[in-house]
Amino acid sequence: MKRRISVLLILLLVLSLVVVGCGQKETPTDGENDTSADVDEDSVEETKVALVVAGGLGDRSFYDSSHEGVEKAEEELGIEYKVYECRNDPSLFTDQLVQASEYAPIVAIVGHEFHDVAQEIAEEFPDVYYIYVDTEIEGIDNLIAISYAENEGSFLAGALAAMLTEEDSIGMVGGMDIPVIRNFEVGYKAGAEYINPEITVETIFAEDFEDPAKGKEGATALYSRGADIVFQVAGKTGEGVFEAAEEMGKYAIGVDTDQRYINPDVIVASMVKKVGLSIYDTIENIQKGEIEPGKVVYYGLEQDGVGMGYGTDDMEQFATDEMKAKLEEIKEKIVSGEIEVPEAK
C-alpha cells in the first residue's frame, strides 16, 4: 500500500512540474512576434574603449587631442568610451588603469608617467589591447606603442619662426626636461638654423604641464631677453605663453592641435601632433585584426602624423604663401632623406 502511494505521489509531482513549465512559456504581446532569439548580441555590442590620461582634459593640447581620437571613433566606428583622468596624481595611475582595463577591451594610455605601470598592467590583463602614445616600448604582445617624429614637425616650426622673427632671436617653453620634449627642442633649433645659421634659440623648462603661471613666467623671461616668438611645448602650461605674448606684444607658436583659435592675434601657427588620428587609426586596426603584436608604430611627416596648422581661412595669416611653399619644400626634403633632422629620444 505504501509503495502505491509513493508511486502516485511521484506521478503527481512530475505532472505538476510539466504544468508549471508550460505556464512559464512566453507569448507574444500586442500581436507582435518575439524575434529576440534571432538576434546575435555579440554582433550588435559596441566595442568599448577607455582613455586614461595622466593629467586632465581641457588643456586644448595633448590630452584634448587624444580625446578627439576616441570621439571620432565613437562617431565613425561605433565604439562607446569612458575617460579616466588622473589629474597628475601618481597615486591614481595604477587604480585608474586597472579600472579602465576592467571596463574595456581597448585602453588608450596618454602620458609618459605611465611608462612602468602600463607594462605591469598589460601583463595582468593579457586580453586587453593597450594603445600607449608617446612611447617606444616593444615586446609586449597586447601593448601597441605609438611614437611620433615631433622633431620633424618642430623643424618646420623652427623654420617658420626663423622666417617670421624680426629680432633673429626665438625661444621655446617646454613642460618638462624629458626626452620627448627634448625631441621637440632639437628639431625646432635645427629648423631655425636651417633658415638662419646665426639665429639665437633659447629654451626654458617650466617643469610642469598643468600650470599656466609657470608658462607665463618662462615666456616673459624669453621675451625680455630679446625673443619675439616663443614655441610652447607644455600642454596647459603653454596657455601662459599665450598670455605673456599678448601682454608684451610678441608672438607664439602652439603645439599638438591647431591652437590659433585661442588667440589668433598672437599665435602665428601651431606644430600639430596628431595624437587623436593615431589613436583612431589603431582602434580601427584592432577592430580589423590588423595589429602586429609588440611593435612600435611611427607617425612622422611621411605618415601625416605631425605637421603645421595655420588656423582657419578667416584668420589673418602671418605665414605668407611663399613661407608655406618653402615649408612644403622642406617637408619633402625631410621625407626623402635629403634633410636629416636630429633626434633626442
Q: What are the residue boundaries of the structural domains of the chain, listed by start?
A: 45-149+276-299, 150-272+306-336
316/265 Cα distance (integer angstroms): 8
pLDDT score at 293: 86
42/20 Cα distance (integer angstroms): 32
Helices (H), 59-173: 62-77, 90-103, 115-124, 150-164
Handedness of CA 151, 155, 157, 162 (dihedral sign): positive
Q: Tell me the sheet residues that pair with 82.
A: 50
**3-class DSSP assignment, residue 62:** helix
Residue type at position 89 = D
219/206 Cα distance (integer angstroms): 10
Place of cell 576592467: 102
104/180 Cα distance (integer angstroms): 28
CB 327 within 8 A of CB 136: no
Give the fold, CATH level 3, of 150-272+306-336: Rossmann fold (3.40.50)
Closest CA relative to residue 221, chosen from 241, 238, 207, 236: 241
320/242 Cα distance (integer angstroms): 22
Residue segments in the chain with a per-residue pLDDT below the cut of 50: 1-45
Query: Are 45-149+276-299 and 150-272+306-336 equal in CATH topology?
Result: yes
268/319 Cα distance (integer angstroms): 7
Contacts of residue 102, Cβ cutoff 8 Å, sequence gap at least 6: none
According to CATH, what is the number of the domain 45-149+276-299?
3.40.50.2300
CA terminus-to-terminus distance, the chain = 93
Closest CA relative to residue 191, chosen from 299, 306, 339, 317: 339
pLDDT score at 303: 94
What's 262's DSSP letter? Answer: G
Closest CA relative to residue 256, chosen from 205, 299, 220: 299
Place of cell 598670455: 243
CA angle 111, 112, 116 (to 5 degrees): 115
